Amino acid sequence: MTRAKLTKWIGIVSFLAVAVDIWLGLWVTPPDAQQGNFVRLVYIHPALAWVALYLAFGVAAICSILYLWPRTRSFTMDRIAASAVEVGVVFTVLTLITGSIWGRPTWGVWWTWDARLTSTALLAVLFVGYLALRRVPADPHVRARRSAIAAIIAAIDVPIVHFSVVWWQTLHQGATVLNPNLTPTIHGIMAWTLLLSFLAFTGLFVWMLLVRFDIAVLEDLDSDESLDVALAQRRAEGAAS
C-alpha cells in the first residue's frame, strides 16, 4: 500500500470513528445526574485537548529538537514540526471553544481567567506566533533553526497547562481518567465512548498531519522552482546587457 492510500484510509477510518463517537455520545450514553446532557461534551473536549497539548505540540517539540541536533537535522523534521503546530493550533482553538460551551452552564460564565484556561490560551498565542515567525523571509536553514527554538520554548507551557489544576486552585476539574491515583471515575458505555473519542481524534490528527506535511513538501518544491526561474531570468538579463 502506498503512503497516499494509507493516508486516505486513515482519514476514512478516523472520520467514521468520530461519527460513531458523536452518535454514541449524543444518543446512546446516559445523561449525568448533575450536569445532565452537558456531560456529553466529555466525549469531545478531553480528546481535543489530548491532541492539542500532547500529540501536536509534543510532535512539534520532538521534531524541533531533532532538527537542532546535527546528526538528525533535516528539513523533514522541520516540515513535520511546522505541520504539527498548524494542526495543533486548530485543535487548541476547538478545545477552548468546547471548554467555553461546557463552562457556561457549569461555571455560569463563558470565560474566566482560570489557570488551566489561561495557560491553554497562552499556548495557542505562542504557537500562532510560531507560525507567524515562519512567514518572516529568511534562508530556509535560518528559518528552520529559529522556528525550532521557538517551538521548544513554547512547549514549556505544555506541562504548565497539564499541572495547572494541581499547582493552583482552579475551577477546572482534575483528570477524569489519568488522575494521580489512576482510578477512573467513568465506567461502562461512557468509558468506552470516551476511549473511542481519544482514538478517533488521534487518528484524525495523524491524517491531518500527513496531509499538511505533503502540502509543505509541495510548497517547498514550488518555492525552489520559482527561485530557479528567477535566477535563470537574472542570468538572461545579465547576458543580454
Q: What nine digits make up the cell of 124?
A: 495557542
Series of mean pLDDT values for 10-residue runs along the chain (241 residues)? 89 96 91 76 92 94 96 94 96 93 80 86 94 91 95 93 77 57 66 93 97 90 53 53 56
* pLDDT of 40: 84
- Residue 229's Cβ-side half-sphere holds a number of Cα atoms within 13 Å equal to 6
240/234 Cα distance (integer angstroms):
10
Q: What pLDDT sits at residue 222?
A: 65
Radius of gyration for the chain, computed over Cα atoms and rounded to the nearest angstrom: 21
Three-state secondary structure of 61-77: HHHHHHHHCHHHCCHHH
- 18, 47 Cβ separation under 8 angstroms: no
pTM of this structure: 0.85
